[in-house]
Structure 1
């Protein structure tokens, strides 16, 4: 890992909060992610399961966390199982976590080597009645691959059929959606790295540059600031490519007079940032581009004001839709008849703004959070309105990451990243 060690008080607190919501005499178990093969002896770079990381800070493959707050043996109320490091592993891969380093990382005192897992787990399972399993129930989850956790859960239910089974997910959805100060500081660091990458671009972009060259500039800046790289697959979409919402080819030449939609963000310590900016290839917006840009920016600013405790996500999007409808009428993209005759299930504004405005962000770019429950302080949401006009050859989206406050306006973690037309043009032409 490239990031600096995180204060283990975060993980101690996260475990305490999680265990406080477990049923009496219950146990919870969490597995690390698989190392996924590519072919031959190649593998995809490892990324840790977000839940075991959230609860332990352990960022290593083949790790298991067991939580059993009512265990008769106090030593077994929090247990980490890790791969035993040795000289061979140290030479070929680098030393894995020692028991001492695992304690420093997680705050967990009881650490066993993975080879002892079956014996210890059998012992603690005999002492509990309910077992919490880790499942991915995010509203956007859509995976065909069986995970290490899936295999473990299947085996557990076969071996211990008399135990009651509960889900960790509802507890984690609520806990992970509200950020601790340490988490907010880490997310701010991710946003600061994104800012450095974006400012680098403003002096780099010019007619004739390739989209992938822009991507490379960002990756360079991210890596040199302790980031692993992009928090998600980057979108560098020039001209009409911006009207493909998930355009990721990034292989076209940027033409004079066009705009570039950049949906990019650095990760830091497994936490995500998520930024979108739209900039002119030639360093200047034309009048039509300015008009559309200012409409998107206006909707964004007004939407941000609604990110306050008590707001319901679905109601918020209805209000944002009204704002966008007003702007599209001003731009001449809609007329009154379009609005009067619109389908309530797919309002007229959706022709030009077809995606949602906000989502939770944190350990995952589309982070955990129960959207039917009211927003609360220290939740972090993106705000990302856009207008897409294929017939005019451009699309504009703007996006920042905002922390809901107890009162007043949300805090913008990307408040120092240039967004106003004048500032962008001034930097690009300096």
Structure 2
């Protein structure tokens, strides 16, 4: 891994929190992700299943975590199973986790080779009433591929039909939404790497460069700072392409007079950052571009102030909609008639701002976290309003990542990244 070793106290705390919410005489299992094939002998780069990483720090394929707080044998209350390594594997694939290294990474004392899983698991199931399965229930999930976890659940139900089943996801939604200080520090590092990439671009972007060249500059800066790369597929959208919310082709030439919308950010140690900035390709906003830019920035600043403990996610978005409506009226994009005749299901402002303002962020860019309960301190949210005007051939979105504080306004993890129009112009023309 490119990142520095994470203090295993983080994973020890996370496991304690999870096990404290398990039912008596219950056991939970977490499987690593598969390595997915592309074709012939090619595979996609491995990324760890985020729940397994959250609870163990183990960042390797063919890994299983088992939690059984009521085990008769104390050594079997936390078990990590890893793929057995040897000299041959080390030559062809590089070093894998030894049992000693697995303990150092995770804080779990009992480590077995994966080949021992069935024997130990079957023995422990004689002490168990309920087994927790780890299913993906994120509100945005759309998974068609059968995972290693799916295969385990099918096999387990066949082998142990008399046991009760429970879901680990509701517990993880509660836990992962509220970050530990160590997690916030790792996210801050991802944001700091993102800042370096963005500042590099302010010196690089000019009329005639291609979007993919911008992508290459970012990737270079991210990797040289120990990131794996982008936290999500980068959006580098010049001109009218910015009005396609998930534009990812990044194959257009940036022209004089264009705005360039950059929804690009780095990961670090599996933790995401999520940044959006919109800059003038020639280093100077037009009067109209700046007018819309300042409106988006005002919405972002006002929305940020509302992210405090006790706020409800759904109500927050309604309030942001009201602020955006006021700005769109001021820009002449809406009139009072539009607002008067708007639908409750699709307010007038949605014509120019059609996506949500905020989402949880953490190990996943769209992270786990409760959405129907009041917000809590140490939740981390994006704030990302935008105004998209196809008829004027530009769109503007601005986004930062903020940590809810016990008191006062949120702490902006991206507070050092330029966002004021004048600062961006000055840096681009320096």
| TM-score bracket, shorter-length normalisation | over 0.9
Counterpart of 2:14?
A: 14
Find the aligned partners of 2:2 and 2:277 in 1 and give their Cα distance. 27
Is 2:184 aligned against 1:184?
Answer: yes
Is 2:72 aligned against 1:107?
Answer: no
Structure 1 residue ranges, 4+ long, deviating more than 3 angstroms after superposition = none
What does 1:143-182 align with in structure 2 at a 5 Å threshold? 143-182=143-182
Counterpart of 1:83?
A: 83
Counterpart of 1:429?
A: 429
What does 1:222-371 align with in structure 2 at a 5 Å threshold? 222-371=222-371
Find the aligned partners of 1:334 and 1:188 in 2 and give their Cα distance. 38
SS class of match (2:102): helix
Give, in angstroms, the shift of residue 226 of structure 1: 0.4
**1:129-183 Cα deviation digits (max 9, x unpaired):** 1000100000000011110100111110111001100000000000000000000
Counterpart of 1:73?
A: 73
SS class of match (2:176): helix
Find the aligned partners of 2:231 and 2:373 in 1 and give their Cα distance. 26
Find the aligned partners of 2:311 and 2:231 in 1 and give their Cα distance. 27
**1:308-348 Cα deviation digits (max 9, x unpaired):** 00000000000000000000000000000000011111000
**TM-score scaled by length of structure 1:** 1.00
Cα RMSD (Å): 0.4
Find the aligned partners of 1:66 and 1:256 in 2 and give their Cα distance. 57
SS class of match (1:5): coil
Aligned length: 430
Give, in angstroms, the shift of residue 95 of structure 1: 1.4
Find the aligned partners of 2:426 and 2:283 in 1 and give their Cα distance. 8
**TM-score scaled by length of structure 2:** 1.00
Find the aligned partners of 2:130 and 2:336 in 1 and give their Cα distance. 59
Counterpart of 1:42?
A: 42
Give, in angstroms, the shift of residue 71 of structure 1: 0.3
**1:210-246 Cα deviation digits (max 9, x unpaired):** 0000000000000000000000000000000000000
Unaligned runs of 5+ residues in structure 1 are none
Find the aligned partners of 2:128 and 2:178 in 1 and give their Cα distance. 29
SS class of match (1:359): coil
Find the aligned partners of 1:366 and 1:114 in 2 and give their Cα distance. 31
Unaligned runs of 5+ residues in structure 2 are none
SS class of match (2:27): strand
